[in-house]
Amino acid sequence: MQHRNVYQYFFVLISIGFVTFMSMAVAQPESTSLLENYTPVSLAELSEPPADDWLMWRRTANHWGYSPLDQINKENVAGLRLAWAWTMEPGLQETTPLVHDGVMFLPQACDFIEAVDARDGTLLWEYRRPLMENIAGLACANRNATLYKDQLIIATHDAYLVSLNARTGEVTWEHQVGDWTIGQHYSGGPQVFGGKIIAGMSGCYYINTGCWITAHDADTGEELWRTNTVPKIGEPGGETWGDVPNEQRRGGSAWMPASFDAELNLIFIGVAVPIPWGSIQRDTKGGDVLYTNSTLALNADTGKIEWYFQHIPGGNWDQDHPFERIIVESEVTPRADAVSWINPNITSSARRKVITGVPGKPGIVWTLDAATGEFLWARETNYQNVIVGVDIAGRKGITNPEIDITEIRQRKLVCPTTRGGMNWYSVGYSPLTNNLYAPTNNTCMTFYLNPVNPTLGGYHSSATTLAVPSPEAEGQVGILTAVDVATGEARWTYRQRAGMTGSVLTTGGGLVFVSDDARRFRAFDADSGEILWEQILNSSAGGFPVTYRVDGVQYVAIAAGGGINYRNMTPEIQQRSGGNMLFVFRLP
């Protein structure tokens, strides 16, 4: 296996040069015809995308990260090879390639967008948004865009929604939603559900107040409704912030995209931490500080909060819960010996829609009833000591009193670190197995709060952290766990030294693709967990992998360069920074 990996690595380098030469040689008229033949993306296609395409962040509104394509499968994936590669913009690299009618759209750092021929990478057009000196350090993370009609819709580092003509890259409209001069920005991109653009605002730090989720007309950008993630005095939930004045109620960024169920007419989105991180810094006196670290179910027509569940009330340790909410219809038969916490009031094993996945940094799979928000079950995938129980009636988790912080610079051992057992890279789900595939990590830290001097853009001065080994990891940091959605049982678990830091792609070929801190991009057998193929990339993969088909050929694409890493836990695993590159693979 090691000799094969070396051969594949040199083959990648040789192939990049060959592909670059071939890309220059492709006749322009053929690529131009792609744009001429480009067809508008309908709402019906967004609801049930063609198998060949990848039209939104996790391909479907339920956030499975699954494609039914099966040309690449368990039997032949070992033959996967490089088809072409493309050098991308420097900067934060967390992109999701989108593909429709043979055209690939690449959102990149600071809202640089390229459209290329999905067969070979020939450039078709590009768009570069003027760069604002945003005081928010994460403002230039661009994780996704979405396709709708003849538009490519993006959410920008300067807090605008922008519509580009998908054939030309020209701006068709733009709408300012937040104020970049005080740090507001988008990092999780927009989604289009039922003709509405849904996007959550980020960057509500020390000077500006709480964030929000908005809906906009997808044809014009006009704002239709706005839901605040931090309630003001007198609003429902406002009392959970105590006597803190409105202008000091900060945080609640909704910095990852929402999911949607049309039958329930509900939008599901996660909300991040309060700012600053510690209760004693905020003077919230132990209050729950809704709706931070919560799952929100919003009425798609009005934005009204129909239900919520708060995973971490109060919040003291930067344990964000804004990640994707996966919608699955499944039997609910949690096994007491398989899950960490279970609702004893579950009386039926009937199929129902659930919200599941790993919504937050502690690495816990939470499963809730999608219609009501009722807690069903939860299980850990990595070692954590933040959550110790569930208040079912109160619709919230129970945090560990032993790590409560009662004074500034009081040191506590907290697991995981502020990077999380899980972070913004995504869990995948396969309907073939009814399994979630969760890439998580064993990490711990010494954590203490600092005195806070609110400054424009201030954020990470909230606390000091020092990474330390997890007491139960035995040196193994990365974990990939296949979790049965019905029972909560771990069908298989793969452990390794290197951190698991890539998003999961599942396919109709019975494969689970994921990348790690050691620059490996792998295909696992979805049923057994066996590694069937791997390729060492030039850098760890910060992007979201996708698969698509053009002219009868299936491709798998992954954007390498940057992303969250856990190399502070594994100092022997090194790589250079940057190296943003899109790799696209196919069978011979």
Question: Tens digits of per-residue pLDDT, 189-205?
Answer: 899 999 999 999 999 88
pLDDT digits (tens, 9 = 90+) for 7-44: 444 444 444 443 333 333 333 456 668 999 999 999 99
Percent of the chain with pLDDT over 90: 85
- When comparing pLDDT for 251 and 135, which is higher? 251
What letter does residue 8 receive in the DSSP assignment? H
pLDDT digits (tens, 9 = 90+) for 492-541: 999 999 999 999 999 999 999 999 999 999 999 999 999 999 999 999 99
Supply 251's token pair. Answer: 């945080």
Topology given in CATH for the domain delimited by 2-586: Methanol Dehydrogenase; Chain A (2.140.10)
Say yes or no to pLDDT of 214 above 70. Answer: yes
Q: Is 228 strand, coil or helix? A: strand
Distance CA 469, CA 446 (A): 10
Lowest mean pLDDT among 6-20, 218-232, 430-444: 6-20
**pLDDT at position 459, please?**
56
Lowest mean pLDDT among 37-46, 179-188, 255-264, 376-385: 179-188
For 4, phi and psi rounded to 5 degrees? -65, -40
Average pLDDT, the chain: 92
Supply 335's token pair. Answer: 């096994």
**pLDDT at position 25, please?**
31
Cβ(584)–Cβ(82) below 8 Å: yes
**pLDDT at position 209, please?**
81
Distance CA 478, CA 517 (A): 9
Percent of the chain with pLDDT over 70: 94
pLDDT band at 572 (very low <50, low <70, confident <90, very high): very high
Provide mean pLDDT across the span 35-63.
97
Place of tokens 């009814």: 434
Instruction: Return all residues near 11 (Cβ < 8 A) that are at least 6 apart.
Output: 81, 82
Cis peptide before 469 (omega within 30 of 0): no
**pLDDT at position 31, please?**
67
Distance CA 405, CA 291 (A): 21
Distance CA 194, CA 191 (A): 10
Provide mean pLDDT across the span 353-371.
98
Q: Is 281 strand, coil or helix? A: helix
**pLDDT at position 11, please?**
42
Tell me how long the chain is.
Answer: 588
Q: Closest Cα to residue 490, out of 479, 498, 502, 500?
A: 479
Cβ(437)–Cβ(358) below 8 Å: no
pLDDT digits (tens, 9 = 90+) for 277-296: 999 999 998 899 999 999 99
Cis peptide before 90 (omega within 30 of 0): no
pLDDT band at 206 (very low <50, low <70, confident <90, very high): confident
Count Cα atoms within 13 angstroms, Cβ side, for 452. 25
Cβ(355)–Cβ(329) below 8 Å: no
Amino acid at 345: N
Provide the whole-model pTM.
0.94
Tell me how many degrees the CA angle 283-203-181 measures, rounded to the nearest 5.
110
Burial 24-47 (b: 16+ CB within 10 A, else e): eeeeeeebeebbeebeebeeebbe
What letter does residue 539 receive in the DSSP assignment? S
Cβ(303)–Cβ(215) below 8 Å: yes
**pLDDT at position 19, please?**
38
Distance CA 132, CA 440 (A): 34
Amino acid at 240: T
Cβ(13)–Cβ(536) below 8 Å: no
- Report DSSP letters for 311-364, one per residue: SSSS--S---B-S--EEEEE-----TTT-SEE-TT------EEEEES--STT-E
Q: Per-domain residue ranges for the chain?
A: 2-586
Cβ(388)–Cβ(333) below 8 Å: no
Supply 223's token pair. Answer: 């704002």
Distance CA 118, CA 550 (A): 7
Cβ(441)–Cβ(119) below 8 Å: no
Lowest mean pLDDT among 51-65, 204-218, 500-514, 546-560: 204-218
- Give the chain's end-to-end CA distance (angstroms, integer): 20
Q: How far is CA 159 from CA 204, 297, 390, in A?
A: 12, 23, 36
